[in-house]
Amino acid sequence: MLFTNAFTCQPVCGPARSCIQTGLYATETGCYTNGISLPLDANTIAHYLSQNGYDVGYIGKWHLASTIFRPKEVTRKKANFLIKPIPPERRGGYNDFWLASDLLEYTSHPFEGHLFDKNMNKVEFTGYRVDCITDFVLEFLSTRKNNKPFFLYVSYLEPHQQNDMNTFVGPKGSKEKFKNYKIPGDLEGLVGDWQENLPDYLGCCHSIDENLKRIEDTLENLKLMDNTIIIYTSDHGCHFKTRNLEYKQELEKEEYKRTCHESSIHIPLIIKGPGFSGGKKISELVSLIDIPPTLLRSAGIEPPKHMKGGQLQDLVNGTAQNWPKEVFIQISESQVGR
């Protein structure tokens, strides 16, 4: 099921992730910009699923454990886990399986690095990062020792840029393989770095697609596919530095996403599995904020009334009444509103 008009709630990593985990907007979680941790008492989708008999696991980038940005309105104590293992109380309820880093781009590079396991031990990997993260996913699926239902959140870094390199790195050969690309309309004619970076960006996306197929094949082989829901989405888009003249000078060379333009806020959203079959395209406006209540409903759990989003099943089934004709997007460091 393809949702063609899906949007982030906030086109910055940490804030968007706080929305996906809680079903609340970033100003409600308090994570309105990067560098502010998820509140320790926040209820996440992992908590609700765990309370209803699910094993819950997390693999990849978390980006909700550290508080390093403390303006006067932020009362949380300073905490820096950017390159350190995240203690259990800062994992958002993912207590059954954990293999993650707060900032994966700080503990790894595109072809090597490490994460931390449930016991806070370093787990190293060598190979293209998307492939290695998927290897960990397949190991999790293949070595489960009980028949409990499970929820696994897989958070790849790609196609995010590698921060300390300030560029995108696809699998080897990406520049040649994707050199003849179609220029997206929201980039054509704009000054930025998309000309040199788009082939590697496309290589990253292609690798994600290939590795999603590996996960699906494993679920098929384990006879789990017919009773599994897969949600494929992203926390934000990328404008490839085409909007940086709108920012203060110090951001001009490094900014990729902090804007409400289409390239930054429009995200992929595909859902596959029971209740989401048939290859239908849904054109209504939807948001990351809709994922938590949708997920809980699919698991047979009544979504809490404080969650802000709608339930996407209503769009799929044609039973939605007065579905919003707008999405609400917040931005922490932009001069643009939409």
In this predicted structure, the answer to whether residue 176 has a pLDDT above a threshold of 70 is yes
What is the mean pLDDT of the segment spanning 206-210?
97
**Mean pLDDT of all residues in 188-217:** 89
Q: Mean pLDDT, to the nearest integer, of 320-329?
A: 94
Give every CB contact of residue 71 below 8 A, 6+ residues apart in sequence: none
**Pairing status of strand 2-3 against strand 281-282:** parallel
Q: How many Å separate Cα 20 from the centre of its chain? A: 8
Q: What percent of the chain has pLDDT over 90?
A: 72
Fold of domain 2-317:
Alkaline Phosphatase, subunit A (3.40.720)
Any idea which of 95-109, 113-127, 184-198, 321-335 has the lowest mean pLDDT? Answer: 184-198
- Mean pLDDT of the region 230-244: 82
* pTM of the predicted protein model: 0.93
How confident is residue 278, by pLDDT bands cut at 50, 70 and 90?
confident
Residue 275 has pLDDT above 80, yes or no: yes
d(CA 208, CA 204): 6
> Comparing 193 with 207, which gets the higher pLDDT?
207
pLDDT at 77 over 90: no
Question: pLDDT, tens digit, for every residue of 282-302?
Answer: 999 999 999 999 999 999 999
pLDDT at 249 over 50: no
Numbers of helices and strands, H then E, in the chain: 10, 13
Q: What average pLDDT does this structure show over 56-72?
A: 89
Residue 336: the pLDDT is 47
- Which pLDDT band, with edges at 50, 70 and 90, does 181 fall under? confident
Residue 247: the pLDDT is 54
User: What pLDDT score was predicted for residue 166?
Assistant: 80
Cis peptide before 87 (omega within 30 of 0): no
Helices (H), 145-280: 174-177, 194-221, 262-265
**pLDDT tens-place string over residues 17-26:** 999 999 999 9
Alpha-carbon span 18 to 277, nearest angstrom: 28
- For the chain, domain boundaries: 2-317
pLDDT at 194 over 80: no
Choice between 183 and 316, residue whose per-residue pLDDT is larger: 316
> In the predicted model, is pLDDT for residue 335 greater than 60?
no
Check: CB of residue 67 under 8 Å from CB of residue 77.
yes
Where are the extended beta strands (E) located within 143-283?
150-155, 230-233, 266-267, 269-272, 281-282
- Confidence grade of residue 255 (pLDDT, cut at 50, 70, 90): low
Tens digit of pLDDT for each residue in 90-115? 999 999 999 999 999 999 999 999 99
In the three-class reduction of DSSP (H, G, I as helix; E, B as strand; rest coil), residue 218 is classed as helix
Mean pLDDT of the chain: 91
Q: Rounded to whole angstroms, how far apart are CA atoms 199 and 196?
A: 7
Q: What's the pLDDT score for residue 245? A: 58
Res. 239: pLDDT tops 50: yes
Q: How sure is the predictor about 242, in pLDDT bands with cuts at 50, 70 and 90?
A: low
